Each structure stands twice: as C-alpha cells, then as structure tokens.
Structure 1
Amino acid sequence: MTSKDTSRQREQRRWAIDLRPLRVPAYRRLWVGNAIAMFGFQFTAVAVPVEMYALTEDSLWVGLLGVAAFVPLLVFGLWGGAVADALDRRRVLLGGSVLLWVSVLGLLAQALLDVGSPMLLLALVALSSVSFAIASPARAALVGRLVPVELVPAATTLNFTTAMATSVLGPLAAGLILAVFELGIALPVAYGLDATLLVALVWAALRLPAMPPEPDPDGGPRQAGLRSIVDGVRYLAGAPVLLLSFAIDLIAMVFAFPRALFPEVATERFGGGAAVGWLYSSIAIGSLLAGLLSGWIGRVRRQGLVLVLAVVGWGVAVALAGLARQLWLVVALLVLAGAADLVSSVVRQSMLIVYAPDRMRGRLQGVNTVVVAGGPRLGDLRAGAMAAGFGSGVAWVGGGLAAAVLAVLLAVAFPALTRYRAAIQTGDRRPQ
C-alpha cells in the first residue's frame, strides 16, 4: 500500500460516519432494534396525516394532530425523564415500547373497521405520544451509559443518521403503497407493517443489560415525583448553554417545520400520489447524506456556533423550498434543510449528554423530548393555522424566514451559546 493510498484512507475516515460505537454489543442491539422499529413508524407517520386530510380535506385538522401529540408530551415528557432517573431505564424503555405497540394496533383496527373518525385519530395519536414521552428519555439517556464518553458524538450521529435513513425509505415506501392501492387498503397495510416491525424494539429492550439509577447524592432513594422534576428544572435553569440550545431548536421547529402542509401541497401543487412520499422523505434524505459524511462533527469544538449556523441554514432552505414550484427543486432544497437539521440535532444532543451528569440525564432528556418532539407538533399547528388563514405558501415561506431571523437574534442577544466550546473527556463504560 502506497503512502498516497494511506493518506486517502485517512481522509475518508475523517469524513465518513464513525462506526466505532457499533463495537459495543449492548449499544449495537439497541441500534438494530430501534432502526427496524423506526422504519415501521414512518408508515404510520405518513398514513395518519393522509387519513386525516382525506377525512376532513382541511390542513387545520392535520395541524391538530400536532396538538394531540404535544399535550401528552408536555405532561408525560418531564415525568418520563424523572422515571428514567429513578427506575431501571431498560424497564422504562420496555414499558413505553409496549404501550406504543398498543396505540398502533388501535390505528390498524380503526382503519380495518373504516371508522372514519377524526377525533379517534387524535386520541390514538395522543396515546402514541404518551408512550413516546415515557420511552424516549430512557432510550436517549442510555447512550451515556452504553458507550465511552468520547464516542457519544459518534453514537448520537449514528442514531440520528439511522433515523433519517428510515425516514427516507419509510415515507417513500408509504408513498408507493398510497400510489398502488386504494386508500381503504393502503391505510391498513401501513399500520399493519408498523405494528409488525415495532416488535423489534421490544426485543431490543429485553436484550439490554439492567440499567439501575445511580445513587442519589443525599443517599436517599430516587423518586419519580414532582420534587425530582423540580430538581431537574432547577439544574437546567443554572445551565444557560443548555437552555439556549433548547430555545434555538424550538425556534427552528415551531416556525420552519412544514410537515403539516405536505398533504395539501402534494395534492394541489403536484397532483398527489407519490409526491407526498417525496415531500415527507426529502428532509430525511438530506439528514441521511449529512450523517454519512459526519466524521467531522465529532471533532467540532465550537459546537454552539455550529448549532446557530445550522439552524439559520435550515430556515433559509425551508423558505426557498416554499417558493419553488417544481417538485424536484422543492425536494432538493428540503434535502439541504435536512442536512442542516442533522448537524444541529447531533451537536445539540452531544452537548446535552456530555454537559449533564448521569443522575440528571433522564430528566434533561425528558425536557429534550418535550422540545424535540413537541416543537414539530407546535410547528404543525402553526403551519396548519397559517395555511387556513393565509394560504400554504405564506405559512411555508414566512415560517422559514422567521426561524432564520430569530435564530440570529437569539445568538446576538445571548452570546453564551456561540461561545460554548466542547469539553470532550475520555472514559470507558461499555456494558456487554
């Protein structure tokens, strides 16, 4: 092997996604099971808003799905984080996964019976959101215990990249199902696939090692009650960098997330059919491509500055996509937005895991669940309401521009975020 070949391989490793976390057996099992379940979830993520729009022919009702998902996240997300710090995180993940499976079975049943009730759809989405709020903080907090600290950015990138890969393939497959079958057949098929593949996440949770909570500093038993939640909020209030990272993510999602507009835009601008699958997949395609070339993210030290730049890029790309009238151009611009979103998500999650002590990670991940999952739901409501009042174009373009401007204003008003530098430590905690 020549020195030129060696240099080329080193350069590829610098840019290619870091796969070292997969050498940890416990993390690898969770990664595999979660990847399969996330692929199945994408069928439901497309089918539910399509079914809602078919029932109501109103994007406002599609936006109300965001409300139905956000309220349980707000209530149970913080509590789920406290539970993840007080109980065995493996058991919490298992319980939340089983509850999610029940909600998907409910969606399958109502589709098979052709109930046709928008209110029932909202209720089942709310139940799904409760299960996510319980399981998500435990699943995210597990990463800090499964891999060494220096591999946290790589593991976080793997998680997000895999999620984006499933978000590409899943909606495209869902779009194909919607294009080939009549809606009355396509919806049960989509929900049935999700229910089947979700079993993989239950399997992954069963195979994890026990993850009991670390001892409380005062020596007493941990309780998943109000006091625990208050302690987590108090800790967060004293960590301005984390607060600002949450705030800028909310800005990005609430103002510039166009998902609730996809069924209407696909129908009116592009004739429906497979177009809706492309719209739902485009952001994920960008995130997937960025993830595959993410080797540099683990070496970033000015994480706060990179986070701000990524959110600004997201908002601008979304706004430009709203102006486009060709499907390929909309998809291309949303791909760019997705790449920016991957960078911001990985950087922010890495900051949270490394910055916070393990005894607080569950509660902070609970807050993170409310922000990450709740922000897009509020974005759905914002987009649907604006589309009802001003049209989908104003809702889409105006939201993207607002996110970019507000992100810049936040960074200028609170420079602690842009000044933050990563402090990567080393260690080796690898359950088998």
Structure 2
Amino acid sequence: MTDERPETRRGGARKVLGSIVVDTRPLKIPAYRRLWVSTAVTTVGSQLTAVAVPKQVFDLTGSSGFVGLTGAVALVPLIVFGLWGGAIADTVDRRKLLLVTNIGIAVVSALLWLQAFLDVGSVWLVLVLLGLGQAFFAMNMPTRSAAIARLVPVELLPSAVALGSTMAQFGAVLGPLLAGALLPVLGLSTLYLIDTVALGLALLAVYRLPALPPLNGPSRRAGLRDILDGFRYLAAQKILLASFLVDIIAMVAGMPRALFPEMAERTFGDPPGGGAALGWLYAAIPVGALACGLASGWLSRIGRHGVGVTIAIGVWGLAIIGFGLSNSLWLAVFFLALGGAADFVSMVFRSAILQAAATDEMRGRTQGVFTVVVAGGPRIADVTHGWAAAGVGTAAAASGGGLLVILVLVVAVIAIPAFWRYRAPTAAR
C-alpha cells in the first residue's frame, strides 16, 4: 500500500515544485544574500536611468541621431574599463572595489538628478555623465560576478547565477514599464533620484560583505600587462575561449533588436509615431528570460554544461528564424520570448563555466571579458542587422541571422570538441 497521508502528499508536491522553480539555496548563505540584495535593489533603479538618459537626450536635441550616440558613448568606457576593471578585481580586495565603484555610480546618478532638476539643458553634460557612469559600472560588474565563486560552493554556482540573472531580467521588464508610468507623474529628474536612493541603500548590503582579498598574495597595481596576461590565459583555455565564442556567434549573428522599429511599423501595423507592437517586441526577450529564471530549478541538476550551452544557442537560432518569418505580432513575440528563455539557459551555464573553470587570480579578468562580450555583441549586431535589412529586408535579415547562428555554432563545436564534452566539476567527480 502507498502512503497517502496528507503530509506525504505535501512533501512530494514540495519536492516536485522545488525541482522546477528557481533554486533559492544560495540565499541561505548570508554573504551571497547580501550581494544578491544589493543587486536586486539597484536593478530596477538602474533601468529607470537607462530610460531617462535617452529620453532626456531626445528632449534636449529632438534628434534620434543623438539618442544613437548614447550607445557609442556607453560602449567605449564599457570596453576599456570592463577589461581594466577585471584586472583590478584580481589584484585588490573585491569588497573594497565594489564599495568604490558603487559609490561612483551613485555620485554620477546624483549628478544626473541635479542637472535635470536645475534644468541645465546641456546634452554634452548628460553624455559625459553617462560615460563616467558606464566606466564605474564596467568595473563593478566583473568584480561583482567574480565575487560569487568566493561566496558559494561550486555545486551552487549555476543556482547563484540564475538567481542574479532572474533579478536582472525582472528589472529589464519592470524598470521600463515603471519609468513610463512615473515620467508623466513625477517627472524625468525624479527617475534619477530614485536610482540614487536605491544605490545608497545597496551600499549598506555591500558594506556588510566579508573581505575578499586576492588568494594569490598581497595586492599590486593592475596595468596593461595584467590585461594582456588575461588574454593569454584565455587563449590557452579552450573551454573558456569557446564559451565566449559561442556567445559572440549567438549575439552578433542572431540579435535582431535593430529591426524592431521597422518591423513594428511595416510588418505589425504600428502607427508612425510608435505603438504597442514596438513595446512588445522590446519586452519579449526579457519576458522569456524572466519566465525561464523563475522556473530554473532544474538547471542545477544538469552537469553537462557544454551540451547545455550548445543546445540553448541552437534553440535561440531556431527562435530567431521563427521570429523573422512571423507575420503575426503574437507569434513574433512568442518566438522572441522562446529565444529569451534559451539565452537565459545559455547565460547561466556559460557563467557557471567561467566561475568554475577560471582560477581565482584570473576570474576578474575573465569576467571583464565576459562583460564586454555580453554588452558589445548586441551593439555590433545592431550595425550588421541594420545594414542587412537595408539590402534584403527585415524578414530575410532576421531569419538569415538565425540560420547563420546554427551553422556557425555547429562549426565551432566541431572545431572545439572539448567544449561539447565539458562537465561541471561536481558532475565530473
């Protein structure tokens, strides 16, 4: 006879549910919980600023060209300080570097609020502050990511990454929607102020982190040699190199966001001034990633991370093909959301590979390269997809990009078979 007692059924239900929903075990570790809280508090606030800056630039200039310039202004310091910040993170106490960069971001946000509140009216001041803020952000992100492996055991790395990424996707969905609702009520300057307050609160959580000094000895100054050492290290590590390569393939060949404005109007019937279709296209990928994050408990039980990344990027390519061929808005949104879910899976496993396969003295530099790849790939895709659409149309540019993802992915995996065979450390024991 089977045990049908209520408590037995409830225990079975909790076990099944726990294997599906996001794994919260890393939050039981106080130090990781503080790091996660600091990320959670700032995520929505940073999205408010991400909406406020281009909105203010457009209000000041009336030019979409200047709005596009914000991307270039953000990209240059992101590349330079992302690489240098990763090198610094390998030579100093990561907690102290997090404090310094968080303070820097908060000061820049406060200055953005002040210039908007005083109605200075200088677009160049806004762009300079944007670049300065991105420099601090570029140093903060690899440091924050490199700290995770020092705070949680290796078997919980995928879960810890999934928790942080789920919150990031939540912010990517909620932040812009909240900004749109608050702008007509509180005004643009208040968005900057909310972000500043959130950053101040996050500093308290970062302050309570344990010291995270380098494991390989006393601190030293980080320079160009350290950055080059990081690239030499990556060149010798096929698994890490492959993890960057496949992400570049997915983003550069397959990220179609530059096509959204034209497709919203000409394919899905938005009015010339913009409409609901454009909003849904931009929200679809984060929505899919968020949904996958909330149901990511199963990811921690998969040990073959190389296979997981490869399949996820293949699904991303198929989803983008489906998006490019869609004539229905909701079908297009479905395929983009599917792609977002696949990209989330890929990101979790790639991050876990970086955390586990890189040594601690190189972890900051590899995370710096990771930050540059994740941020730079889609910006390159904006250029390539825009040019392709001008020549062959949006449908062919999007679906062709998805097909290219799959073809180049297969070549890459064949060329680096060790990546396909890679297993998480716990699965290999």
TM range (shorter): 0.7 to 0.9
Counterpart for residue 430 of structure 1: none
Distance, in Å, in 1 between the alignment partners of 2:392 and 2:128 is 28
Q: Which amino acid aligns with 2:229?
A: D
2:378 to 361, 376, 381: 376
Which moved further from structure 2: 222-231 or 353-362? Answer: 222-231
Deviation at 1:175, TM superposition (A): 3.5
Q: Which residue of 2 aligns with 1:400?
A: 402
Tell me how far apart the structure 2 counterparts of residues 279 and 48 of structure 1 sit (CA, whole Å): 21
Mean Cα displacement is larger for which, 46-55 or 404-413? 46-55
The corresponding residue for 2:243 is 245
1:240-288 C-alpha deviation (Å, 9 max, x unpaired): 0110100111122223223444456556643435555433332121111
- Paired residues of 1:286 and 1:335 also in contact (CA < 8 A): yes
Name the residue aligned to 1:270: 270
Report 1:315-330 matches (<5 A): 315-330=317-332
One-letter identity of the residue aligned with 1:193? I
Question: Is the CA contact 1:53–1:263 (under 8 Å) kept in the aligned structure 2?
Answer: no
**Equivalent residues of 1:63, 1:384 under 8 A apart:** no
CA change 1:106–1:324 in 2 (3 A) is farther
Report the equivalent of 1:188.
Answer: 189
Structure 1 position 234 matched with structure 2 position 220: no
Q: Does 1:208 align with 2:209?
A: yes
Partner of residue 350, structure 1: 352
* Whole-angstrom CA distance in 1 between matches of 2:359 and 2:80: 24
> 2:132 matched to which residue of 1?
127
Q: Distance in 2 between matches of 1:313 and 1:324?
A: 16
Q: Structure 1 pair 384/50, CA: closer, same or farther in 2 (3 Å)?
A: farther
Give how far 1:120 is off. Answer: 5.2
Could you tell which deviates more after superposition, 260-269 or 169-178? Answer: 260-269
How far 1:203 sits from its partner (Å)?
2.4
- The answer for the alignment partner of 2:282 in structure 1 is 280
The CA deviation string for residues 301-349 of structure 1, in whole angstroms up to 9 with x for no partner, is 2211210111122233234334435443333222111100110000000
Tell which deviates more after alignment, 316-325 or 68-77. Answer: 316-325
CA–CA distance in 2 between the matches of 1:391 and 1:124?
37
Which range is displaced more, 242-251 or 363-372? 363-372
Q: Work out whether residues 16 and 295 of structure 1, in 8 Å CA contact, stay in contact via their aligned partners in 2.
A: yes
Measured in 2, the distance between the counterparts of 1:387 and 1:127 equals 33
2-structure distance, mates of 1:399, 1:338 = 16
Displacement of 1:406 in angstroms is 2.3
Q: Distance in 1 between matches of 2:223 and 2:326?
A: 49
Deviation, structure 1 residue 99: 2.1
Where structure 1 has 5 or more consecutive residues not aligned to the other structure, the ranges are 427-432
> In 2, distance between residues paired with 1:98 and 1:398?
44
Q: Which one-letter code corresponds to 2:359 in the other structure? A: P
| Partner in structure 1 of residue 72 of structure 2 | 67
Task: Give me the whole-angstrom Cα distance separating, in 1, the residues matched to 2:263 and 2:112.
Answer: 25
Q: Are the equivalent residues in 2 in contact too, given 1:66–1:378 (CA < 8 A)?
A: no
Q: Residue 297 of structure 2: SS of its match in structure 1? A: coil
Q: Is contact 2:255-2:381 (8 Å) kept?
A: yes
- Relative contact order, higher structure (CA 8 A, sep 6+): 1
Looking at structure 2, the residues matched to 129 and 400 of structure 1 have their Cα atoms a distance apart, in angstroms, of 30
In the other structure, the counterpart of 2:157 is 152
Partner of 1:43: 48
Alignment of 1:78-157 (within 5 A): 78-109=83-114, 111-112=116-117, 113=119, 115=121, 117=123, 122-157=127-162
Give the corresponding residue for 1:337. Answer: 339
Q: Is 2:38 the partner of 1:30?
A: no
CA distance in structure 2 between the aligned counterparts of 1:111 and 1:392, rounded to whole angstroms: 37
Corresponding residue pairs, total: 417
State the one-letter code of the partner of 1:236: L
Percent of aligned pairs with the same amino acid: 47
- Structure 1 residue 19: deviation in Å? 0.6
Give the 3 Å change call, closer, same or farther, for CA 264–88 of structure 1 in structure 2.
farther
Contact 2:92 2:219 in 1 (8 A): no
1:395 & 1:36 partners in 2: Cα distance?
A: 38
**1-side partners of 2:421 and 2:236: how far apart?**
17
* Structure 1 counterpart of 2:299: 297
Deviation at 1:376, TM superposition (A): 2.5
| Structure-1-length-normalised TM-score | 0.86
Q: Secondary structure at the match of 1:17?
A: coil
Q: Is the 8 A contact 1:175 1:277 kept in 2?
A: no
Segment of structure 1 superposing worse, 246-255 or 313-322: 313-322
Q: Taking structure 1 as reference, are residues 315 and 200 closer, same or farther at Cα in structure 2, changes over 3 Å only?
A: farther
Does the 8 A contact of 1:282 with 1:338 survive in 2? yes
1:310 aligns with 2:326: no
State the AA in 2 paired with 1:176.
Answer: A
Partner amino acid for 1:359? E
SS of residue matched to 1:424: helix
Distance 2:404 2:55 in 1: 27
Give 1:394 shift. 5.2
Counterparts of 1:266 and 1:53, CA distance in 2: 20
Deviation at residue 294 of structure 1 after TM alignment: 1.2
User: RMSD value over aligned CA atoms?
Assistant: 2.9
Match of residue 416 from structure 1: 418
1:429 is aligned to none
2: CA distance between counterparts of 1:352 and 1:74?
19
Task: Give the letter aligned to residue 257 of structure 1.
Answer: M
| C-alpha distance in structure 1 between counterparts of 2:51 and 2:327, whole Å | 22
Query: More displaced, 263-272 or 236-245?
Result: 263-272
In structure 1, distance between residues paired with 2:12 and 2:116: 56
Q: Displacement, 1:383?
A: 4.1
Task: Give yes or no for contact 2:154–2:425 (8 Å, CA) kept in 1.
Answer: no
> Equivalents in 2 of 1:116, 1:400: separation in Å?
41
Change over 3 Å in CA distance of 1:131–1:266 after alignment to 2: farther
Whole-Å separation in 1 of the counterparts to 2:385 and 2:106: 29
Change (3 A) 1:250 1:356: same
